[in-house]
Amino acid sequence: MRFSPFAAVGLAVVLAGCIDMDMDTAILGPDEARVSGHIEVTQEMYNMMGGEEEFCPTEDGGTLEMTETHARCNMLMEGTFAEVFEPSEDGSPSPTATDLGDGTVRVVFPMGDMTSEMDEMTADPQMEEMFRPMLEGRSIALSVSGAEIVSSNGTVSDDDTRASIDFKLTDLFEDETDIPENFETVVRY
């Protein structure tokens, strides 16, 4: 279990409204990446998820920090694309990294499942009324970094070394959202 399971945990708790996530994927070479960042959930959600082994497995680079109200999984994993971007076991879309053969890599984070799941949940006004308060103040931030960002549908830093996308979870309730179907970046290593 590598990055994809962390993403799956993130999606599950996003839908429960109990997450803050900030992750960076650094492309280090034609088949090497480092993912670092954190996922934070409420203590209640952490307990419902089954504790440390389910939420923050150490064998996958997770380090758990606990407070009275929250559990935070700090992640650091490095390896080949196959190791870091292992496909999800349930067949759902997973992040991918593909060497383009010219010193660049295309990194894709599928976002469509998250927005379509939320669309289903919020189609009922009562469900939206119940979930909106749980999402207040929560956010997701993803970034891709490397020697140079060649192209991205995210926001590119002034020094052209990082592309990012971030949004508040309450944005998922909006009819016209700026969240793309995929967060895609081509980065030079």
* pTM for the structure as a whole: 0.81
Does 5 have pLDDT greater than 80?
no
Question: What are residue 66's DSSP bridge partners?
Answer: 71
Residues 6+ apart with CB under 8 A from 81: 31, 32, 33, 96, 97, 98, 99
- Of 184 and 93, the one with more pLDDT: 184
- Of 59 and 9, the one with more pLDDT: 59
Structure tokens given for 89: 């076991």
Instruction: Look at residue 1 in the predicted model and tell me its pLDDT.
Output: 36
**Mean pLDDT for all residues in the chain:** 83
Q: What is the pLDDT of residues 46-104, one digit of tens each?
A: 887 777 777 888 888 899 999 998 899 999 999 999 999 888 777 777 899 999 999 99
Does 3 have pLDDT greater than 50?
yes
Does 113 have pLDDT greater than 90?
no
Instruction: Look at residue 153 in the predicted model and tell me its pLDDT.
Output: 97
Instruction: Look at residue 121 in the predicted model and tell me its pLDDT.
Output: 62
Does 140 have pLDDT greater than 50?
yes
**What is the C-alpha R_g of the chain?**
16
